[in-house]
Structures are given as structure tokens and as C-alpha cells.
């Protein structure tokens, strides 16, 4: 199996719920799969996640945010993703490097050239076999955020930030249509999940 699949999309689009559904269905089919997330995936990466997501008295600079995320990704790749792929797992990650382009470059305004240089320097040019980009209207996503019990720093960003994130995601999907599969999530949840599952099964069978 050893395929690496990522799920992307802005807050409130329903990624976590879709991934949970997919994970349950894969287990029913006896497919050897493991689910992880970014930032996170290892003990150290989870600690870095807390630094990135929690609200603090000290403002986290965009550059600091980026470096923390890349440090977490390096740990994630080397200590979780690669080992599981080598053992024959289907690895599913809730976010990966497309999120960094969308949030830190698109949302925060950091140059993509800086990210690309850091990726090359740190050995982070590690690509998923394919990616599902879950997409829904911004207003739909933001209304869902209001119902969350716990919020992080990204949940409270302004409308312009999320517009830039969404635009960046869509641009990446347009630039890499062979890898990125865009899914309309402004539909019935069960329909969305079944669509993703069917496409995933098709992809991993190739």
C-alpha cells in the first residue's frame, strides 16, 4: 500500500470529520492505514503544535510561526511518515505542506521563495502521492467555527485572511490537478464522505 495521502482545506470545512469517516471505513475494509496531523504527529511535533496554535500574550511573528511549523514537519516526516510508509501503511495526514503555502504564504504574506529555500535546505521536499482539497464557501466555514467548543489562533483570523488562504489553496489545486483532488463540501456530509472514499479507493488501487 505505502501511499501518502493528505487532506487540506480551511478551518470549518469539515476535514477532521471526513477523515474520521474515512478511517473507520478503511478499517472495515481491512486496509492497513494510519491517520496523523500537522502540526503534530510526534511528541516533539505536538509540543511545537501547542506553541503555534495557542493564544499567547506575546505576538508570534509570521517568520517564527513558519520556522516552528517546518521544525514540526521535519520531525513528523522522519519519525512518523517515512517509518509507516516503509512498513506498508497508507498514511493519511490532516494537513501537510500545502497548508504552509496557503496559511503562511497566502494568509500571512510570506514570500513563497523563502518557503521553497527553507524546504530545500531542510530536506522537506517530500510530496504526498495525492491530496484532497476540501472546499466550501467561506461564510459556511466561518459559521461552523462559531459552534466549536475550543478555538485556536487561526480560528479568530479576519475575513481577508481566510480569503487569501482559500485563494492560495485553489491556485495550488489549479497548478497541480494530477495530485490535488478538489472536493465540494457544501453538500450533505454523507455524500461528501462517500465521494472522498470512492476516489481514495480508486487512487490507492492505481
Cβ contact 90:26 at 8 Å: yes
Report the SS3 class of residue 202.
helix
Do 69 and 39 meet the contact criterion of CB atoms below 8 Å apart?
Answer: yes
181 or 56, higher pLDDT? 181
pLDDT at 150 over 80: no
pLDDT score of 156: 83
Compute the mean pLDDT over every residue in the chain, rounded to the nearest whole number.
Answer: 94
In whole angstroms, what is the distance from residue 193 CA to residue 47 CA?
31
- Tell me the C-alpha distance between 49 and 36, whole Å: 13
Q: Which percentage of the chain shows pLDDT scores above 70?
A: 98
What percent of the chain is predicted at pLDDT more than 90? 83
Domain count along the chain:
1
Question: What is the side-by-side strand order in the sheet with 90-94?
Answer: 33-37, 90-94, 4-8, 130-135, 180-184
Residue 103 has pLDDT above 90, yes or no: yes
Q: Where does the pLDDT of residue 55 fall: very low under 50, low under 70, confident under 90, or very high at 90 and above?
A: low
Is it the case that residue 94 has pLDDT exceeding 70? yes
Could you tell me the pTM of the whole model?
Answer: 0.94
Residue 149, pLDDT score: 65
Contact 13, 136 (CB under 8 A): yes
Detail the DSSP E strand segments found in the chain: 4-8, 33-37, 90-94, 130-135, 180-184
Tell me the CATH number at 71.
3.40.50.300
Tens-digit pLDDT profile for residues 1-52: 689 999 999 998 999 999 999 999 999 999 999 999 999 999 999 999 999 9
pLDDT (mean) for 57-71: 94
Of the listed ranges 48-57, 65-74, 75-84, 112-121, the one predicted with least confidence: 48-57
pLDDT, tens only, 3-15: 999 999 999 899 9
| pLDDT at residue number 58 | 85
Residue 93 or 186, more confident: 93
Query: In which domain, by residue range, is 92 found?
Result: 4-205
Amino acid at each position: 500500500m505505502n501511499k501518502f495521502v493528505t487532506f487540506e482545506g480551511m478551518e470549518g470545512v469539515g476535514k477532521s470529520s471526513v477523515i474520521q469517516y474515512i478511517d473507520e471505513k478503511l478499517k472495515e475494509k481491512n486496509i492497513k492505514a494510519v491517520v496523523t496531523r500537522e502540526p503534530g504527529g510526534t511528541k516533539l511535533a505536538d509540543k511545537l503544535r501547542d506553541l503555534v496554535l495557542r493564544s499567547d500574550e506575546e505576538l508570534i511573528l509570521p517568520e517564527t510561526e513558519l520556522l516552528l511549523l517546518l521544525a514540526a514537519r521535519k520531525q513528523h516526516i522522519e519519525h512518523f511518515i517515512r517509518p509507516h510508509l516503509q512498513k506498508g501503511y497508507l498514511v493519511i495526514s490532516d494537513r501537510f505542506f500545502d497548508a504552509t503555502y496557503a496559511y503562511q504564504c497566502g494568509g500571512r504574506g510570506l514570500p513563497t521563495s523563502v518557503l521553497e529555500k527553507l524546504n530545500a535546505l531542510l530536506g522537506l521536499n517530500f510530496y504526498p502521492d495525492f491530496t484532497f482539497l476540501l472546499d466550501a464557501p467561506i461564510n459556511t466555514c466561518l459559521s461552523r467555527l462559531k459552534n466549536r467548543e475550543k478555538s485556536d489562533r487561526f480560528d479568530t483570523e479576519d475575513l481577508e485572511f481566510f480569503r487569501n488562504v482559500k485563494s492560495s489553496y485553489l491556485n495550488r489545486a489549479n497548478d497541480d490537478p494530477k495530485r490535488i483532488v478538489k472536493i465540494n463540501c457544501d453538500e450533505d456530509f454523507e455524500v461528501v464522505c462517500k465521494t472522498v472514499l470512492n476516489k481514495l479507493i480508486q487512487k490507492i488501487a492505481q
